């Protein structure tokens, strides 16, 4: 699977928007972009995924660059409960079994 | 019932013990997974079961033995483990869609294993 690159850590103030970047310059045309997050002492949870178009759901928005070599996860108003490790993952098959987690971005949210 | 339930949440065992981790999913999914998460390391995929058949085994030592008796239950049998096997073991499930887009993974809260 193609590799992703994320910053090790980011900080945000509560109630501010957060933009978490992910670079995936070797992405193929059939790779989906997935985001998961892992809160302290919990298993990872799905956040959002997309292929080419920007995506929105109740948790976040996913902005995908036109050349698909990068993407940004957008949390519109960060809360303390959003403090977690965020993983950007690519998958080029139709099954979840090919999701390979990297080290992700640790997001700290402060008052 | 939460979607994916793992028991026990914490386990301490000696290197000569035999124990098992249990995972149960209540989501009607057809695929189940074991992941290992060691301190400061990314999640490592250990085993994948799809429709109760093992479809992936990522070079896991034989002291870890998975069992999937049905689509709702997954076990990880442990024997003669080493201290470096101490980690958080996470179970996940998904609905595999052949030829379709990737199914979302639903994780349990994990079983924290300490090997003395």
Reading chain B (116 residues) residue by residue, the pLDDT tens digits are 569 999 999 999 998 889 999 999 999 998 899 999 998 788 999 998 987 777 777 789 999 999 999 999 999 999 999 999 999 999 999 887 766 556 789 999 999 999 99
Mean pLDDT of all residues in A60-84: 96
The residues of A whose Cβ lies within 8 A of any Cβ of B are: 32, 34, 36, 41-46, 49, 51, 91, 93-104
Give, for B24, the enclosing helix (H) or strand (E): strand B18-25
**Separation of first and last alpha carbons in chain A:** 38
Please name the member of A42, A94, A99 whose beta carbon is closest to the beta carbon of B99. Answer: A94
What's residue A100's pLDDT?
Answer: 81
Average pLDDT over residues A3-10: 95
């Amino acid at each position: 699977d193609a590799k992703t690159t994320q910053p090790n850590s980011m900080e945000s103030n509560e109630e501010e928007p957060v933009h978490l970047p992910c670079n995936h310059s070797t992405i193929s045309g059939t790779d989906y972009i997935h985001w998961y997050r892992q809160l302290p002492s919990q298993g990872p949870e799905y956040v959002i995924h997309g292929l080419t178009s920007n995506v929105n759901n109740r948790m976040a928005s996913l902005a995908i660059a036109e050349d698909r070599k990068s993407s940004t996860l957008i949390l519109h108003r960060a809360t303390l409960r959003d403090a977690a490790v965020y993983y950007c993952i690519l998958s080029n098959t139709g099954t979840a079994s090919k999701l390979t987690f990297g080290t992700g971005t640790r997001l700290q949210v402060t008052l | 019932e939460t979607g994916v339930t793992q028991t026990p949440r914490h386990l301490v065992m000696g290197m000569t013990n035999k124990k098992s981790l249990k995972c149960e999913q209540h989501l009607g999914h057809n695929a189940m997974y074991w992941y290992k998460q060691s301190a400061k390391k990314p999640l490592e995929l250990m085993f994948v079961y799809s429709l109760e058949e093992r479809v992936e085994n990522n070079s896991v030592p034989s002291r870890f033995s998975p069992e999937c008796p049905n689509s709702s239950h997954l076990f990880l049998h442990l024997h003669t483990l080493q201290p470096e096997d101490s980690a958080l073991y996470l179970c996940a499930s998904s609905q595999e869609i052949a030829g379709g887009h990737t199914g979302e993974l639903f994780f349990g809260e994990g079983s924290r294993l300490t090997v003395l």
